[in-house]
């Protein structure tokens, strides 16, 4: 399936016009949170309604990594190579230790349970940033229960373990990623259909927050998973597939997917394979320019 909708010539340096969207695995209920393990050459991804964290590799196919998994969503590595997990049904952020046990990093803000941590990134200094919409308090994608907090925010867990609220004026904050120099943090808002950008202060707090780009197009989907490639282009799930923006916010095009794209990561030895979790399936699209490992 040819899958590229080019909106600007700048896309030609990133992905070929005849790139193919290949189905790697299917038969799931709703896939999310893909994360590539470079040394092990495998991919982790969640099937949230099935409460199943799965593992895929070219050598072994699909297997179970963890079940139950508390309907985990966003995954990333910390700077020591440990797995960080956003858990929808428990409203926790956890870290998987070397022995396989889980350490709870945070679950409450000022005594009230978080909404449902959704997506997560780790800065080079070890600080962890995550979004906290309410999707994990719904049926299917989480555990249905009342919302406790009166806002949907973005947080930082410092290297000392302290939790700080960075922004609380989102409809539904979702995907987030740093610029290459980590001086800016991009956060998308699923409810409002756009990407915002914040300046990152020396102490890790944020300022600004203006709308950086609108995520528009034909097809199903809304801003969800988001990452930056090795050249500074911002990739964001949206209507029809994965949208690509130049560093100056110029819309370059859309990598179209047969099903609604929720998240993605780069993988394979050259980091030129874009692995996309889309509804019932896992897809792969080869790129020209490499991406980056997820932290």
Please give the average pLDDT of every successive group of 10 residues along the chain, which has 295 residues. Answer: 88 96 96 97 96 97 96 97 97 96 97 98 98 96 95 98 98 98 98 98 97 96 98 98 98 97 98 98 97 95
Question: Residue 1 has what pLDDT?
Answer: 57
- In a domain, residue 292? The reply is no
C-alpha atoms less than 13 angstroms from C-alpha of 40 in its C-beta half-sphere: 11
Is 137 within 8 Å of 145 (Cβ atoms)?
A: yes
The dihedral over CA atoms of 21, 27, 33, 34, expressed in degrees to the nearest 10, equals -50
- In a domain, residue 54? The reply is yes
Length of the chain: 295
Cα 244 to Cα 85, 182, 271: the distances in Å are 26, 19, 17
- In a domain, residue 36? The reply is yes
Question: Residue 3 has what pLDDT?
Answer: 84
Q: Give the list of residues 6+ apart from residue 195 with CB closer than 8 angstroms, or none.
A: 186, 187, 188, 189, 211, 212, 213, 214, 215, 223, 226, 234, 236, 245
d(CA 216, CA 10): 18
- Looking up residue 53, the CATH number of its domain turns out to be 2.120.10.30
- In a domain, residue 34? The reply is yes
- In a domain, residue 177? The reply is yes
- In a domain, residue 293? The reply is no
C-alpha atoms less than 13 angstroms from C-alpha of 268 in its C-beta half-sphere: 14
Q: Which structural domain range is residue 139 located in?
A: 4-286
Question: Residue 288 has what pLDDT?
Answer: 97
- In a domain, residue 291? The reply is no
- In a domain, residue 259? The reply is yes
The count of structural domains within the chain is 1
């Amino acid at each position: 399936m040819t899958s590229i909708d080019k909106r600007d010539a700048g896309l030609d340096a990133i992905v070929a016009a005849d790139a193919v969207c290949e189905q790697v695995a299917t038969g799931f209920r709703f896939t999310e949170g893909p994360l590539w393990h470079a040394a092990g050459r495998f991919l982790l991804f969640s099937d949230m309604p099935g409460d199943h964290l799965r593992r895929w590799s070219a050598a072994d196919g699909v297997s179970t990594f963890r079940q139950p998994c508390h309907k985990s969503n966003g995954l990333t590595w910390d700077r020591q190579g440990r797995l960080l997990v956003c858990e929808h049904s428990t409203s926790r952020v956890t870290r998987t230790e070397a022995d396989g046990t889980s350490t709870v990093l945070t679950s409450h803000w000022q005594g009230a349970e978080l909404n449902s941590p959704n997506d997560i990134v780790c800065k080079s200094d070890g600080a962890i940033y995550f979004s906290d919409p309410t999707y994990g308090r719904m049926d299917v994608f989480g555990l249905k229960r009342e919302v406790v907090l009166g806002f949907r925010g973005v947080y930082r867990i410092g290297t000392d373990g302290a939790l700080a609220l960075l922004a609380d004026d989102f409809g539904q904050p979702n995907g987030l990623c740093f610029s290459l120099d980590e001086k800016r943090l991009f956060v998308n808002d699923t409810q409002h259909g756009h990407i915002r950008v914040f300046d990152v202060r020396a102490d890790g707090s944020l300022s600004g927050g203006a709308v950086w780009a609108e995520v528009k197009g034909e097809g199903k989907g809304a801003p969800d998973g988001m990452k930056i490639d090795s050249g500074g282009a911002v990739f964001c799930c949206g209507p029809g597939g994965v949208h690509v923006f130049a560093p100056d916010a110029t819309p370059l095009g859309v990598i179209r997917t047969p099903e609604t794209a929720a998240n993605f990561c780069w993988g394979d030895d050259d980091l030129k394979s874009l692995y996309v979790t889309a509804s019932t399936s896992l897809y792969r699209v080869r790129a020209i320019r490499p991406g980056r490992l997820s932290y």
